A and B are shown apart, each in its own frame.
Chain A
């Protein structure tokens, strides 16, 4: 699984730290870090919550093209 750059970019656009995003989503900071590093594959429920908070679609953040090697 590659790193998830779009989440990091979307987070930067909103000037949010991992901790702020984690609090908004309702998970730990380490979970957001693991998703960004591609170490954890989140459930669809968590993906949808992240999309809602960052104002993006599922395709934009978790589509096939979003995975960088």
Chain B
């Protein structure tokens, strides 16, 4: 497989297209969530969550959209191996830390949705990426193992 001259990925035309689609969807999601937040906060003068949480909400929504698109469409070679796999495990761990941290915060009676929505949403986003990755990986491994070249030709 050919390695692209200036980046650490192999060139596969379908994957290049899928990466483009994923990033386009991510940018659009970021723009739309920022627009929605601007409308809610500045036009309707309603502040359900603080500015930092709103920022995290916009960033994590688009990151989840990009990541889920990339994973579901197998947009990278070796997405299940090496550094990619490690990155997803770290994401899963970080997500758990966020959620457990918020749960502890709640037990102590300090949890408020206004202040803690950002961290809670970040944790949910991280766990979502991790879960989608694991489900897709198990599906792909199963598909690869059960594949027989002489089967299901109809």
Assuming the A-B contacts A19-B144, A26-B2, are A31 and B15 also in contact, with contact meaning beta carbons closer than 8 angstroms in the complex? yes
**Shortest CB distance B97–A (Å):** 32
Count residues of A near B (Cβ-Cβ below 8 Å): 24
- Is the CB–CB distance between B14 and A26 below 8 Å? no
- Is the CB–CB distance between A40 and B14 below 8 Å? yes
A26, B14: Cα distance in complex, Å: 12
Flag whether B135 is at the interface (Cβ < 8 A): no
Q: Which residues of chain A have C-beta atoms less than 8 A from B143's C-beta?
A: 33
A31, B62: Cα distance in complex, Å: 25
Count residues of B near A (Cβ-Cβ below 8 Å): 18
Q: Which residues of chain B have C-beta atoms less than 8 A from A26's C-beta?
A: 1-2, 12
Interface string of B83-125 (1 = CB under 8 A from A): 0000000000000000000000000000000000000000000
A22, B59: Cα distance in complex, Å: 36
Q: Which residues of chain A have C-beta atoms less than 8 A from B15's C-beta?
A: 28, 31
**Shortest CB distance B10–A (Å):** 8
Q: Which of A8, A9, A19, A42 contacts B13 (CB 8 A)?
A: A42
Closest to A20 in B: B149
A30, B153: Cα distance in complex, Å: 18
A36, B40: Cα distance in complex, Å: 46
Q: Which residues of chain B have C-beta atoms less than 8 A from A1's C-beta?
A: none
Assuming the A-B contacts A27-B1, A29-B144, are A15 and B150 also in contact, with contact meaning beta carbons closer than 8 angstroms in the complex? yes
Flag whether A51 is at the interface (Cβ < 8 A): no
- Is the CB–CB distance between A31 and B12 below 8 Å? yes
Q: Which residues of chain B have C-beta atoms less than 8 A from A23's C-beta?
A: 1
Known A11-B149, A28-B15, A42-B13; 6 more pairs at CB < 8 Å: A12-B153, A16-B149, A26-B2, A30-B14, A31-B15, A45-B13
A residues near B, CB below 8 A? 5, 8-9, 11-12, 15-19, 23, 26-31, 33-34, 40, 42-43, 45-46
B residues near A, CB below 8 A? 1-2, 10, 12-15, 74, 77, 140, 143-144, 147-150, 153-154
